[in-house]
């Protein structure tokens, strides 16, 4: 049998141009130059400037970084809140071919020291708030690391040594324009470590290409959030997965940015939204509880607020309903640090009723352009996308990591034989492509051979008016292997939780074997450094003894 030789595809005759982060700012300053960046500052007050102004300061910073000896491939760390100087660092560091390494200041000091040394950071830029933290870490930082505080000499912290530079002095006198180097689009641009809930933190090393494509995909997937008439407030920090890509998507689309600085309580967020005319805000579910309470106390929402994009962990239906009470729409998103991070989001339905809007926002929505998804059984067999079958969710795409930074063992374990990334989430996907996260694989409760979803228990619990927050965990059981235990935080600490009524309400939706065996009231739930409930810490705090047999 004669085998036909495969003919190679015909190359198109188009110019080759690398996708790059500085090209976003050049485009934004040229096309959307009047768009604003407003920042609540650490020093106090509201800073306001245009994208044109930002581009000039970014150029000065880029020249200053080169004068410091920072070059291609060097990692430059940041410990900072959401503000205009942190935003400038994003573009200047990546623009000269270095790597912007954002560090979560809520991590333990030992974790920060480990991350800084693992990344081999050359310089550290930090907000005034974190001066004592940096001072305490000084002897654990890499040798000859240069340190810069993000303010001017008038606000120099008392703890700072003489060799610690002031940001404004650093960039003063440098040119406000720059010819960016020609960088390959595969060059590293950003580095973000996972919070390390199991083992050491792992670094996701983003490229220029992945970052630009992710920003474009977000604009395509959530078009109602972006545009010249919109203002987005990223409550999700710039130190957490690039603030979900907003520092890139907003300038690219001409959308105003509102940075909240260090104050993320409900009153501060409400006042900032009101003052700036914020139309949308993005963040994890736990941060919105304070805003909802402030809205209820005032009897109204911030005047221009239209929608919240909520991700990081599953959004309780009760929260979606509470926002609908004040005509605020919920866009439910899902993603991971390893995915740049947004993977899916819900799409609004035109003319939908309140009930349909709530139902539509409960799943995590449909994939963004470029992302592929599949679910597999315990043996790795692909499961159908029929809305019923469930399995571990695997993903791949141009904004998904292909390994962890300097961590070969962790990288090897994170992918299947075909190169798909294992998310650790258990999910269903329906025939319309809608994703529904069932649980984290490590949070599923296996009782008597049957699986119980901790998310289902938590959603039912938070639907009760006496419960503000809830978390379900598995507790070892001598007969059933594991049984669910529910930890709850009361909505009103004086009144507490009406446990009997809570269980009665849950029993209307669950089989008897799915019901929690105990309900434990707590003043607060332990949180991770990224604002999620820490099941790991919760398990260490809860001790339920079921005896030898029940």
pLDDT for residue 14 is more than 80: yes
Task: Tell whether 408 and 492 lie within a shared domain.
Answer: no
pLDDT score for 286: 87
Cα dihedral 38, 303, 230, 291 sign: positive
Annotated catalytic residue, options 78, 102, 194, 462? 194
Final residue of a structural domain among 416, 440, 464: 440
Same domain, 393 and 455: no
**pLDDT value, residue 511:** 84
| Mean pLDDT, rounded, for 176-196 | 94
Confidence of residue 448 (pLDDT cuts 50, 70, 90): confident
389 and 456 both lie in a single domain: no
Tell me whether residue 407 is in a domain. yes
Residue 374 located in a structural domain: yes
Within this chain, do residues 457 and 536 fall inside the same structural domain, yes or no?
A: yes
User: Any idea what the CATH number is for the domain that residue 408 is in?
Assistant: 2.30.38.10
Closest-CA residue to 487 (of 428, 420, 539)? 539
Residue 371: which domain range?
A: 367-440
Among the ranges given (227-236, 356-365, 368-377, 471-480), the one the predictor scored with the smallest mean pLDDT = 471-480
In which order are the strands placed within the sheet that holds 391-396?
372-376, 391-396, 421-429, 435-440
- Residue 299 within any structural domain of the chain: no
Torsions phi, psi for 269 (to 5 deg)? -65, -45
158 given a catalytic annotation: no
Q: Which of 110, 451, 479, 513 is catalytic?
A: 451
| pLDDT beyond 60 at 391 | yes
Shared-domain flag, residues 506 and 473: yes
- Residues 533 and 456 reside in one and the same domain: yes
Q: Are residues 532 and 459 in the same domain?
A: yes
Shared domain for 422 and 489, answered yes or no, is: no
305 in a domain, yes or no? Answer: no
User: Which tokens sit at 312?
Assistant: 């990081």
Model confidence pLDDT, tens digit, residues 474-520: 999 888 888 999 999 999 999 999 999 999 999 999 989 899 999 99
Q: Is the pTM of this model over 0.85?
A: yes
User: Are residues 531 and 476 both part of a single domain?
Assistant: yes
Per-residue model confidence as pLDDT tens digits over 407-436: 999 999 999 999 999 999 999 999 999 999
Residue 512 maps to which CATH number? Answer: 3.30.300.30
- Band (pLDDT 50/70/90 cuts) for residue 60 is very high
Q: Is 276 a catalytic residue?
A: no
Active-site option among 88, 185, 338, 458: 338
Nearest to 407 by CA among 142, 196, 242, 243: 196
Same domain, 450 and 530: yes
Proportion of the chain above pLDDT 70, given as a percent = 98
Whether the per-residue pLDDT at 53 is higher than 60: the answer is yes
Looking at 440, 455, 471, which one is the last position of a domain? Answer: 440
pLDDT in tens, 27-40: 999 999 999 999 99
What pLDDT does residue 1 have?
A: 52
Residue where the block lists tokens 């560090």:
103
Among 23-32, 95-104, 191-200, which is the least confidently predicted range? Answer: 191-200
pLDDT of residue 336: 95
**By the 8 A CB rule, do 193 and 107 touch?**
no
Would you list the DSSP string of 101-150? EE--TTS-HHHHHHHHHHHT-SEEEE-GGGHHHHHHHGGGSPTT-EEEES
Residue 3: predicted pLDDT: 62
- 373 lies in a domain? yes
Task: Please say which residue of 418, 440, 462 terminates a domain.
Answer: 440
Would residue 461 count as lying in a domain? yes
Alpha carbon 18 to chain centroid, angstroms: 27
Q: How far is CA 167 from the centre of its chain?
A: 27
Whether residue 470 sits in one domain with residue 525: yes
Closest CA to 443 of 424, 421, 467: 424
Q: Write out pLDDT tens, residues 269-303.
A: 999 999 999 999 999 998 999 999 999 999 999 99
**Catalytic-residue membership of 274:** no
Report the DSSP pairing between strands 36-40 and 256-259.
parallel
Distance between CA atoms of residues 341 and 235, nearest Å: 15
Q: Is 338 a catalytic residue?
A: yes
pLDDT of residue 404: 97
* DSSP secondary structure code for residue 510 in this structure: S
Tell whether 372 and 386 lie within a shared domain: yes
Question: The tokens of 412 are what?
Answer: 């090897």
Residues 6+ apart with CB under 8 A from 5: none
Q: What is the 3-state secondary structure (H, E, C) of 317-369?
A: HHHHHHHHCCCCEEEEEEECHHHCCEEEECCCCCCCCHHHHHHHHCCCEEECC
DSSP lists the bridge partners of residue 391 as 427
Is residue 547 very low, low, confident or very high in pLDDT (cuts 50, 70, 90)?
low
**Domain total of the chain:** 2
pLDDT, the chain, mean: 94
How many residues appear in the chain?
550
pLDDT digits (tens, 9 = 90+) for 68-82: 999 999 999 999 999
> Residue 234's pLDDT is what?
98
b/e per residue 27-51 (b: at least 16 CB within 10 A): ebbeebeebbbbbbbbeeeeeeebb
Q: What interhelical angle do 208-221 and 21-31 show, nearest 10?
A: 50
Report the distance separating Cα 438 and Cα 344, nearest Å: 15
Q: Does the structure show a pLDDT above 70 at 548?
A: no
């Amino acid at each position: 049998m004669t085998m036909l030789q495969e003919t190679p595809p015909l190359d198109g005759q188009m110019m080759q141009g690398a996708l790059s982060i500085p090209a976003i700012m050049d485009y934004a300053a040229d096309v959307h130059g009047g768009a604003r960046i407003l920042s609540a500052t650490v020093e106090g007050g509201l800073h306001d400037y245009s994208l044109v102004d930002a581009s000039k300061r970014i150029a000065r910073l880029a020249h200053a970084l080169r004068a410091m000896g920072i070059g291609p491939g060097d990692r430059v760390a940041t410990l900072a809140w959401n503000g205009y100087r942190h935003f400038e660092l994003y573009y200047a560091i990546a623009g000269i071919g270095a790597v912007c390494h954002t560090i979560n200041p809520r991590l333990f000091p030992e974790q920060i020291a480990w991350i800084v040394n693992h990344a081999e950071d050359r310089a550290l830029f930090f907000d005034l708030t974190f001066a004592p933290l940096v001072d305490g870490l000084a002897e654990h930082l890499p040798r000859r690391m240069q340190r810069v505080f993000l303010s001017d000499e008038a606000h120099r912290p008392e703890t700072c040594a003489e060799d610690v530079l002031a940001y404004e002095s650093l960039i003063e006198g440098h040119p406000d324009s720059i010819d960016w180097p020609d960088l390959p689009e595969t060059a590293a641009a950003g580095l973000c470590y996972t919070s390390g809930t199991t083992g050491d933190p792992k670094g996701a090393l983003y490229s220029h290409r992945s970052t630009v494509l992710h920003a474009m995909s977000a604009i395509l997937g959530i078009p109602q959030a972006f545009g010249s008439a919109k203002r987005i407030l990223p409550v999700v920090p710039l130190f957490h997965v690039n603030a979900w890509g907003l520092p890139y998507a907003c300038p690219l689309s001409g959308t105003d940015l509102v940075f909240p600085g260090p104050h993320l309580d409900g009153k501060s967020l409400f006042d900032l939204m009101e003052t700036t005319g914020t139309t949308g805000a993005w963040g994890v579910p736990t941060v919105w509880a304070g805003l909802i309470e402030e809205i209820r106390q005032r009897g109204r929402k911030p005047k221009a607020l239209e929608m919240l994009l909520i991700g990081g962990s599953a959004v309780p239906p009760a929260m979606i309903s509470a926002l609908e009470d004040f005509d605020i729409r919920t866009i439910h998103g899902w993603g991971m640090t390893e995915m740049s991070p947004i993977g899916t989001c819900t799409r609004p339905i035109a003319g939908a009723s309140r009930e349909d809007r709530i139902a539509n926002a409960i799943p995590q929505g449909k994939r963004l352009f470029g992302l592929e998804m599949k679910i597999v059984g315990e043996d790795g067999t692909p499961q159908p996308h029929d809305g019923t079958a469930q399995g571990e969710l695997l993903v791949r795409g141009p904004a998904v990591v292909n390994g962890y930074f300097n961590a070969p063992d962790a990288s090897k374990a994170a992918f299947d034989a075909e190169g798909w990334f294992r998310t650790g989430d258990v999910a269903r996907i329906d025939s319309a492509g809608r994703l529904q996260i069932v649980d984290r694989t490590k949070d599923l409760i296996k009782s008597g051979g049957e699986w119980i979803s901790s998310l289902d228990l938590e959603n039912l619990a938070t639907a009760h008016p006496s419960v503000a927050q809830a978390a379900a965990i598995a507790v070892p059981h001598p007969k059933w292997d594991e049984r669910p235990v529910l930890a709850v935080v009361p909505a009103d600490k004086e009144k507490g939780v009406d446990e009997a009524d809570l269980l009665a309400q849950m029993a209307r939706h669950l089989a008897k074997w799915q019901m929690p065996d105990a309900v434990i009231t707590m003043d607060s739930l332990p949180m991770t450094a990224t604002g999620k409930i820490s099941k790991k810490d919760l398990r260490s705090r809860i001790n339920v003894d079921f005896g030898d047999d029940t």
